[in-house]
Structure 1
């Protein structure tokens, strides 16, 4: 898949991580039903590979589906075997190169200018700017875009609706959202509330990019 183009089109990546595999699966499917086209299942969640495999079966072969928290080459290989077609990493570990070798585009985790340079040298499709809330939010993104004006940044970490709007206005190609969007749905919480949050985030993203 062309991950960079998908990020530019959809502008929102949902991050699903939970302790209830069945609930996590239902969370993925509900998000997609609400029009959130890019979803990653964090490997830090319980039985995450099974969730990816079952989600892939339910969604079919053509829907984008990512694996998050890909740290090692083993993680990348397992995620690929389970059916993930893109990888998301918190940093620039061995999982980046292994995913690239498997043909999986990578949303690679960075925070500093040095890491941005290293990530681009590794051929990542986009740059996961993490953790953005703790780093200074949209103002930090603006500063980082000074030396890297064309870099495809995806701020992640503490991104609520307001932060999503400000980061997109500051030049982010997309935003990644975990708990402010997913809440407790992946632990068995309300899917109705999840759907309401998904609609609110989609509206925020659409308005920020109009």
Structure 2
């Protein structure tokens, strides 16, 4: 898949992690049903590979499905076998090279200019600025865009509605949103409330300046 193009089109990545695999699966499917087309299942959640495998079966072969918290080459290989077709990392680990060898585009976690340069040299599709809310928010993103004006940045970490709006206005390609969107749905909480939040975030990103 062309992850950079998908990020530019949809502008939102939902991050699902939880201790209830069935609830996590239902969360993934509900998000997709509400039009959140880019969803990553974090490997830090319980039985995440099983969630990915079951989600892939339910979604079919053509829907994007990501895996998050990819740290090692084995993480990338296991997630690819389970059905993930793009990878998200918290930093610059061995999982990036392995994912790319498997044909999985990577949204790689970075924070500093040095890490941005290193990630670009590794051929990643886009750069996850993490954790954005704890590192200066939209002002920090705007500062990074000075030396890196055309770099596809995706802020993640503490991205609520206000941070999402500010980062998109500051030039983010997309935003990654975890608990402010998913809430407790992946722990067995309300799917109805999840759907409402999904519609809210979809409207937010649709109204953001391209």
So what's the TM-score if we normalise by structure 1? 0.99
Aligned to 1:195: 195
2:170 — aligned with what?
170
CA distance in 2, matches of 1:187, 1:149: 39
Helix, strand or coil for the counterpart of 2:133? helix
1:205 is matched with: 205
Which residue number in structure 2 is paired with residue 57 of structure 1?
Answer: 57
**1:30-179 mapped onto 2 (5 Å cutoff):** 30-179=30-179
- 1:97-125 C-alpha deviation (Å, 9 max, x unpaired): 00001010000000000000000000000
What is the CA-CA distance between 1:209 and the residue it aligns to? Answer: 3.0
Root-mean-square deviation (Å): 0.6
For 1:145 and 1:79, locate their aligned partners in 2 and report how far apart those are by CA, in whole Å.
Answer: 32
* Runs of 4+ residues deviating >2 angstroms: none
Q: Number of residues paired by the alignment?
A: 210
3-state SS, counterpart of residue 135 of structure 1? coil
In structure 2, distance between residues paired with 1:118 and 1:178: 26
Tell me the secondary structure at the aligned position of residue 23 of structure 2.
helix
- The alpha carbon displacement at 1:162 in A equals 1.2
Instruction: Determine the C-alpha separation between the residues in 2 that align with 1:202 and 1:143.
Output: 26
CA distance in 1, matches of 2:84, 2:61: 10
**Residue 41 of structure 2: SS of its match in structure 1?**
strand
CA distance in 2, matches of 1:37, 1:100: 21
Shift of 1:208: 1.1
Q: Which runs of 5+ in 1 are unaligned?
A: none
Query: What stretches of structure 2 of length at least 5 have no aligned partner?
Result: none
Give the whole-Å Cα distance in 1 for the aligned partners of 2:13 and 2:209.
15
- For 1:157-199, what per-residue CA distance to the aligned partner results, in whole angstroms no more than 9, with x for missing partners? 0001111111011000000000000000000000000000000
Question: How far apart, in 1, do the equivalents of 2:7 and 2:45 lie?
Answer: 23
